[in-house]
Structure 1
Amino acid sequence: MNIPDLEAFVAVVETGSIVGASARLNLPDGEVRGEFRLGVMPYLSEAALSVPLDRLRAEFPQLTLRVTSGWSVRLVDQVTRSELDAAALCLPDGISPPEDLVGEDLGTQRVLLVAAPSLGVPKPASLAELSRFPWIMNESGCGFRAYLRQRFEAERLPFQVAIEALSADLRMSLVARGLGIGILTPSAFADSRWRDAVEVVEAVDFQPRVRAWMLHRPPAGRLAQPIAAFRDGLAQALALPGPFLA
């Protein structure tokens, strides 16, 4: 076995796939085939699973997509360990991804706080006033949920999660019924069938923001074009006009 063959063998073992090994070794190829292991965090799933995936399927019909959903911390770890080829995720504004990963910044977005008018949330509301209401959140493990809890606890205010629900549509339906305050991205709000039943809550001393990232290990190799296609499609899906765009 010569040195290039040995390097290829080691890359396959360490990355867990031929596609991942090709990306690491920056090997050229014609039509992109094989697997593209992609992680998407739940807050981006509504945007990521429409235009970006349609674009990937159209441009790379021979590419097999393996899409995994998970929280940001887990996705970062999976990309670092080459269990995923790339991941689309959000981090609280001001927090950057690990330096050993390629992080493509997709920009900052406001995270919208929404509630049914019947809940009686003040307009605008202070952080102290928001702490008096129940919240409808993703299940434990969500990085932004942890960020919210830390923000409230820093002010020695309670943060009550009344209901956990993974689906954004389910969370919005519960918010529309007046069961608590919810949070979601502007794109998810714009596409929600419940948007006319809720209102955006403005906070006077609390403006939660997240920054969307596309992460992958260097080098991207022959997955560079699929990663770029998905990144551009996601950026397009997130770029909503109007007051909700940061």
Structure 2
Amino acid sequence: MNLEDLRALVAVAETGSLARAASRLNITQPAVTRRLQRLEAELNAQLLDREQKPARLTAAGEHAYREGVKVLSAADQFASALRSSQAKPPLRIGISSGIADSVLSVGIDAVRRTVPQAKLVVMVDWTERLVAKLAAQELDAVIGMRRGSAADMPELSLWHIASEEVVVVARADHPATGCIPLSSLAREAWVINPDGCGFRHLLDRALAATGHTLDISVELWGVDVQLSLVARGLGLGLVPARLVAASPWRDQLKVLDVSDFHARLAVWMIARRNIAPCTAHALARLEEAIVGELGPVAAAAE
């Protein structure tokens, strides 16, 4: 059972609303909803009466809340005892540039809750460079986006924890309507991540298959800045779907329905083998936070 899902239930019960629970947990309200739905599916019980406004716990939800408080208390005591029994070296985490906007904040919050006294060192870079530092024991774990499988790195522990979908966005007054082929965008300029980004690689490959190349208007990191430039008409963007909905520029943008381009990359947790128990515990909480933010694993583009 995912402890972060239990924390969402407890937060809703104690604050009285999804919005206040999201504020307490420092996550989005949709992320709270996903965690509750996942917990309901695992317990095979309806925990929240959504017909009432605001939603209230059902009888099963009240019971799950009381038992969940006990479970979380025991887990926190276990983590505290584990932390106090071991030295606390820096926890060194690498996060792929392509997903830093999506998971950096929730990841840091999750690790801080688990190892509040430890120094946290976060490095943002390409996945391949981070993995090289991991192999050289300069990092403890990497959250990366990559193609391939765990068999590619037999010397490391890898597991697929989530997937991230990206969409093509344009200025709100862009003339494209309905479902369109990628080739119809071949002459468009793009505001996009620098070369080496997995999403950009997928777009490059898809355009090449139509006999075209990627025309770049602006190349830079940062989803917020990219969307602001797209809203001003500097080109099309390719960004995580979740971040478009949350963007302050969303009313000045529209998502294009591209029939033959669906980009989704696997998000992996990559760690050295035989890591310390305290580090393993922190990584488990980090994984739960990322899954809670991005949603469960889905098929990724090859």
- Normalising by structure 1, we get a TM-score of 0.78
- Identity of aligned pairs, percent? 30
Which of residues 115, 122, 133 is equivalent to 1:60? 115
Kindly indicate whether the alpha-carbon contact (under 8 Å) linking 2:163 and 2:267 is maintained by their aligned counterparts in 1. Answer: yes
Higher RCO, 1 or 2 (CA under 8 Å, sep at least 6)?
1
Task: Tell me the CA shift for residue 190 of structure 1.
Answer: 3.2
Distance 1:189 1:219 in 2: 39
Kindly indicate whether the alpha-carbon contact (under 8 Å) linking 2:142 and 2:270 is maintained by their aligned counterparts in 1. Answer: yes
Q: What 5-or-longer segments of structure 2 have no aligned partner?
A: 1-82
Task: Tell me the CA shift for residue 32 of structure 1.
Answer: 5.7
Within-5 A mapping of 1:26-65: 30-31=85-86, 33-65=88-120
1:125 aligns with 2:194: no
- Normalized per residue, the structure richer in helix is 2
Distance 1:194 1:186 in 2: 13
Task: Tell me the CA shift for residue 154 of structure 1.
Answer: 2.9
Distance 1:188 1:49 in 2: 13
Partner of 1:99: 153
Kindly indicate whether the alpha-carbon contact (under 8 Å) linking 1:102 and 1:217 is maintained by their aligned counterparts in 2. Answer: yes
Task: Tell me the CA shift for residue 102 of structure 1.
Answer: 1.5
Deviations 1:131-168 (A, max 9, x none): 22111111223233223212222332121111011111
Q: Aligned to 2:119, what secondary structure does the other structure show? A: strand
Within-5 A mapping of 1:94-173: 95-97=148-150, 98-100=152-154, 101-173=156-228
Deviations 1:79-107 (A, max 9, x none): 22322211112225xx2253322122123
Counterpart amino acid of 1:198? Answer: L
Q: Which segment drifts farther, 114-123 or 209-218? A: 114-123
Within-5 A mapping of 1:219-230: 219-222=274-277, 223-230=279-286
Kindly indicate whether the alpha-carbon contact (under 8 Å) linking 1:46 and 1:187 is maintained by their aligned counterparts in 2. Answer: no
Distance 2:116 2:170 in 1: 42
Q: Aligned to 2:90, what secondary structure does the other structure show? A: strand
Distance 1:75 1:186 in 2: 25
CA RMSD between the two structures: 2.2
Deviations 1:15-68 (A, max 9, x none): xxxxxxxxxxxxx98256111111112332223222221121122112111111
Task: Tell me the CA shift for residue 123 of structure 1.
Answer: 3.0
Distance 1:155 1:36 in 2: 45
Give the paired residue count.
212
Task: Tell me the CA shift for residue 175 of structure 1.
Answer: 0.9
Distance 1:176 1:74 in 2: 32
Partner of 1:174: 229
Distance 1:138 1:164 in 2: 6
Distance 1:144 1:238 in 2: 16
Kindly indicate whether the alpha-carbon contact (under 8 Å) linking 1:121 and 1:130 is maintained by their aligned counterparts in 2. Answer: no
Distance 2:217 2:177 in 1: 19
Which of residues 255, 268, 274 is equivalent to 1:200? 255
Kindly indicate whether the alpha-carbon contact (under 8 Å) linking 1:32 and 1:60 is maintained by their aligned counterparts in 2. Answer: no
Deviations 1:213-238 (A, max 9, x none): 11111122231011111111111111
Q: What 5-or-longer segments of structure 1 have no aligned partner?
A: 1-27, 241-245
Distance 2:177 2:131 in 1: 37
Counterpart amino acid of 2:294? Answer: L
Partner of 1:209: 264
Structure showing greater radius of gyration is: 2
Counterpart amino acid of 1:238? Answer: L
Counterpart amino acid of 2:100? Answer: S
Counterpart amino acid of 2:112? Answer: R
